Amino acid sequence: SRVNLFDIVLQSIKSFQNAYQREIELNRVENLWIYTDEQKLKQLLFIILDNARKYSEDLISVVLGKENNQLYIQIIDRGIGIPETDQNKIFDRFYRVDKARNRKQGGTGLGLPIAKEIADAIGAKINLSSVEKIGTTVTIYLPIDEKSD
Ligand code: ATP
Cα of 41 to ligand 1 centre, how many Å?
Answer: 18
Phi, psi of 53 (to 5 degrees): -65, -45
Its ipTM equals 0.95
**Structure-derived torsion over alpha carbons of residues 137, 60, 36, 28, reported in degrees to the nearest 10:** -120
Cα of 117 to ligand 1 centre, how many Å?
Answer: 15
Q: What average pLDDT score do residues 13-42 get? A: 96
**Please, which pLDDT band fits residue 71 given cuts at 50, 70 and 90?**
very high
Q: Is 2 exposed, middle or buried (0-12, 13-18, 19+ CB in 10 A)?
A: exposed
Cα of 54 to ligand 1 centre, how many Å?
Answer: 8
Task: Give residue ranges with CB within 6 A of ligand 1.
Answer: 51-52, 54-55, 77, 79-82, 90, 95-97, 102, 107-112, 136
Q: Percentage of the chain with pLDDT > 70?
A: 93
pTM (2 d.p.): 0.94
Given ligand 1 and candidates 112, 117, 129, 136, which is best to mutate, with the most ligand atoms within 8 Å of its CB? 112
pLDDT at 147: 61
Number of neighbours of residue 121 by Cβ within 10 angstroms: 12
Ligand 1 atom with least separation from CA of 50: 4
Ligand 1 atom with least separation from CA of 91: 11
Which DSSP letter does residue 85 get? Answer: G
Ligand 1 atom with least separation from CA of 56: 28
